[in-house]
């Protein structure tokens, strides 16, 4: 079925027209914060995708454009050194981006959730997974992992000395080098007028990308907000002796990223008193815990819809989504490092993501992190990434007007 669907979409490419109409009849101005000429970018991406899919009808839906022409470039960041439970992941989170690409040919081209907005096949506008900095980051990651986890199997038969101040300093240096590579890559993408995203890696891996986006917003007198899906607040000042831990990433973002108006954390169900102090001390930080959402989730219908609108309400017009897969319930985050019962379902998370577009906001960037490298983990992660890339394209005005007849009972 997937192969036939890709052949069909390659024949359709030449007859698509762009519009900025919502599925419900409203309109939105295409996002120009990152992409100065959305129509030119969409045309380049579509032409590149048409060529590549004509040459290979079985092409992965996330690799349909050249690195120079893709509308959305997903940068692979294979850094997982600060994961705190290697025994849960067998220390393979850094391998997930490549496994995602290997798995992705089984993913079909139509995202049924995006059809209501007039975009069914994001792949036809050009997607690319970029491994240009992967080797550099992975080399730094290997050294940092051994230093940070001295008693793990990584250290070899002879073990490794306990963490010393020198080791902690070296871990921070390695992280800064890797994060710096990510930041430079995203500054390059933004300077070229291209949308970017991160596939990690642990939750510390997108920090450089978010920092680059904040600087880009500040240079244009704009601001942005982060919608964080997570089981954890990630507001530690330091964890495992280091400030670069995945448990500290949102504290670093709040402290250091320019032009940041709000961080909305949703699905939180494991937090400590230090993190609650950080939350209370910064009015930009908003937290929707599992306890806050439980009643609305059970009630469903109008009450759940009100909760979804309330989650998105604190965000400004320009949005970055930071999606830690453990924000979802256990069956949707197989192979992740720190799973916690009681998370969002995949459909509930989708509802919140779609509200970005429904509310007239624009998704400018995203990261998907801590996805397990298992088949079940990658199965969820690649589909989530594809949906988010489609939401980015919607913000540029990408439409193909595919339709599904609405069942009479809905």
Predicted confidence (pLDDT) per residue in 364-378, tens digit: 999 999 999 999 999
DSSP E strands, 245-317: 260-268, 285-289
DSSP state string for 70-102 = -SEEEEEE---TT-S-HHHHTT-GGGHHHHHHH
Of 335, 366, 339, nearest to 95 by C-alpha is 335
Dist. CA 40–CA 375, nearest whole Å: 37
Tokens in use for 193? 């007028």
DSSP-derived pairing of the beta strands 362-369 and 195-200: parallel
Q: Could you tell me the pTM of the whole model?
A: 0.91
Count CB neighbours of 29 within 10 A: 11
Alpha carbon 350 to its chain's center: 13
Of 58, 232, 242, nearest to 144 by C-alpha is 242
Q: 102 to each of 125, 289, 311, 335, 382, how far by Cα in Å?
A: 21, 35, 34, 17, 10
Domain 2-396 sits in CATH at: 3.40.800.10
H or E element in which residue 135 lies: helix 134-148
Dist. CA 348–CA 51, nearest whole Å: 36
- Interval 305-345: pLDDT, tens: 999 999 999 999 999 999 999 999 999 999 999 999 999 99
Domain boundaries defined on the chain? 2-396
Dist. CA 187–CA 173, nearest whole Å: 21
Query: By the 8 A CB rule, do 397 and 362 touch?
Result: no
> Which pLDDT does position 161 carry in this prediction?
53
> Which pLDDT does position 88 carry in this prediction?
58
DSSP-derived pairing of the beta strands 195-200 and 72-77: parallel
Q: 167 to each of 43, 261, 394, how far by Cα in Å?
A: 50, 35, 45
Dist. CA 215–CA 259, nearest whole Å: 7
Tokens in use for 181? 């590579």
Dist. CA 158–CA 152, nearest whole Å: 11
Dist. CA 68–CA 130, nearest whole Å: 10
| Spans of the chain, pLDDT less than 50 | 1-29, 155, 157-160
């Amino acid at each position: 079925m997937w192969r036939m669907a890709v052949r069909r979409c390659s024949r359709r490419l030449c007859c698509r027209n762009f519009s900025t109409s919502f599925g419900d009849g409203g309109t939105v101005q295409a996002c120009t914060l990152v992409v100065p000429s959305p129509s030119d970018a969409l045309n380049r991406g579509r032409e590149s995708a048409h060529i590549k899919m004509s040459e290979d009808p079985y092409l992965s839906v996330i690799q349909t454009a050249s690195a120079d022409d893709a509308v959305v470039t997903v940068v692979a960041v294979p850094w997982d050194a600060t994961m705190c439970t290697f025994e849960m992941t067998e220390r393979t989170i850094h391998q997930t981006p490549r496994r995602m690409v290997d798995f992705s040919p089984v993913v079909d081209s139509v995202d049924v959730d995006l059809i209501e907005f007039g975009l069914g096949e994001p792949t036809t506008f050009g997607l690319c997974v970029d491994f240009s900095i992967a080797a550099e980051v992975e080399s730094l990651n290997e050294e940092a992992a051994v230093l940070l986890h001295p008693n793990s199997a990584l250290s070899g038969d002879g073990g490794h000395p306990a963490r010393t101040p020198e080791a902690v300093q070296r871990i921070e240096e390695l992280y800064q080098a890797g994060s710096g590579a990510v930041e430079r890559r995203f500054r390059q993408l933004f300077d070229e007028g291209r949308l970017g995203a991160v596939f990690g890696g642990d939750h510390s891996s997108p920090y450089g990308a978010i920092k680059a986006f904040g600087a880009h917003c500040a240079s244009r007198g704009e601001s942005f907000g982060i919608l964080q899906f997570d089981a954890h607040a990630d507001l530690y000042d330091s964890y495992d002796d280091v400030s670069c831990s995945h448990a500290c990433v949102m504290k670093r973002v709040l402290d250091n990223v320019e032009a940041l108006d709000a961080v909305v954390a949703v699905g939180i169900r494991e937090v400590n008193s230090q993190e609650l102090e950080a939350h209370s001390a910064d009015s930009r930080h908003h937290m929707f815990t599992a306890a806050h959402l439980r009643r609305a989730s059970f009630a469903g219908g109008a009450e759940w819809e009100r909760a979804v609108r309330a989650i998105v309400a604190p965000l400004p017009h320009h949005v970055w989504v930071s999606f830690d897969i453990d924000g979802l319930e256990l069956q949707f985050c197989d192979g992740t490092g720190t799973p916690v019962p009681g998370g969002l379902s995949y459909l509930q998370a989708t509802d919140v993501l779609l509200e970005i577009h429904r509310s007239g906001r624009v998704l400018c960037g995203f990261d998907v992190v801590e996805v397990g490298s298992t088949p079940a983990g990658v199965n969820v992660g690649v589909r989530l990434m594809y949906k988010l890339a489609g939401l980015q394209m919607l913000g540029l005005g990408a439409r193909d007007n595919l339709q599904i007849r609405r069942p009479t009972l809905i």
